[in-house]
Amino acid sequence: MADAKATAAAPPLRLPWMAACLALLILGGSDPVTVAAGGEGVAVCVVAPRIEPLDGVDAYGIVLTPEPMLVVVEPLLELQIQRQQLAPWQRRGNRSQPILTPLAWPAAPIEPNEPVLLQLRPLGAGREAFAHVQLVGASAERMEQTVRLLETLGSNPDTWQAAFEQALERGDVPLAWTVLFDRRSPPSPELNELRRLVFERGCGD
C-alpha cells in the first residue's frame, strides 16, 4: 500500500489547466514571431519580450519592465542593442559557443517610452544578416504598475500562476509573457512545463 504522505507530497501536474492555457495562447494569436535575418532565408523566433510584425521594421514590441528577459529559440552568433542616448551594447558568439537564451537583460535598464533596437544574427546567418526588433519602453505608469505587480508576487508559484492566468484572461498577452518569463518567476511543475511548451512550440512554423 502506498504511503499517503509520499503521495500527498508529489501532486501531479494540472494538465487540464495547462491545456486550457495553451488553447488561450493559440486562439488568442499570441504565438511568438519569426523575424527574418537579412535576405538569406535565415530567421529567428523571438519568444520574449512579446513582439508583433510591423511594416517598416521586422517586428515591434512594448516592453513592460526596465530589464526584460530575452528568450529566442535559435542560438545566436551576435546580439546588438542600439540606443539613442547610450553607446551600443554587443555580444558575439561563435559556432561552437553561440549565445543562448533565456538571457537576463544585459544592458542599462530601458526607460519609459525609450526606443531600443535589438539586432540578432542567428547561427547560420552571414556576417551582415541581422533580424531587427524594435522595442519601446511602456509608459511610466504601465512600467510602474508592472514592476509593482512583480514585486508583490513573492516566491509562491501559485501567486505567479494566478497573475499569469489573470493577464491571459484579460487578453493582456504582453503582461502574461512578462510574468511567465520574468527572472524572479519561481520554478514549479506547472510554470516550468508551460515555459518549456511555449519555447518548444516556437513560432509554430
Do 124 and 42 contact (CB within 8 A), yes or no? Answer: yes
Q: Is residue 171 part of a domain?
A: yes
Residue 22 lies in a domain: no
What pTM was estimated for this model as a whole? 0.80
Of 52, 28, 47, nearest to 135 by C-alpha is: 52
Give the residue numbers spanning the domain of 154. Answer: 30-201
Number of domains within the chain = 1
- Which pLDDT tens digit goes with each residue over 84-135? 988 999 999 999 999 999 999 999 999 999 999 999 999 888 888 888 899 9
Count of C-beta atoms within a 10 Å radius of residue 183: 13
18 within a domain of the structure (yes/no): no
Pick 202 or 85 by higher pLDDT. Answer: 85
Better-scored residue on pLDDT, 79 or 34: 79
Contacts of residue 7, defined as CB under 8 A and 6 or more positions apart, other chains included, come to none
Asked if the structure places residue 21 within a domain, the reply is no
- Specify if 16 maps to a domain: no
| DSSP bridge partners of 35 | 44
pLDDT at 27 over 50: no
Asked, for residue 51, whether it belongs to a domain, the answer is yes
Domain annotation covers residue 173: yes
- For residues 121 and 42, what is the distance between their CA atoms, to the nearest angstrom? 9
Residue 136 is which amino acid? V
CB atoms within 10 A of CB 68: 25
Pairwise pLDDT comparison (143 vs 34), residue with the higher score? 143
pLDDT digits (tens, 9 = 90+) for 29-71: 445 556 666 655 567 888 889 888 776 567 889 999 999 999 9
Is residue 12 situated within a structural domain?
no
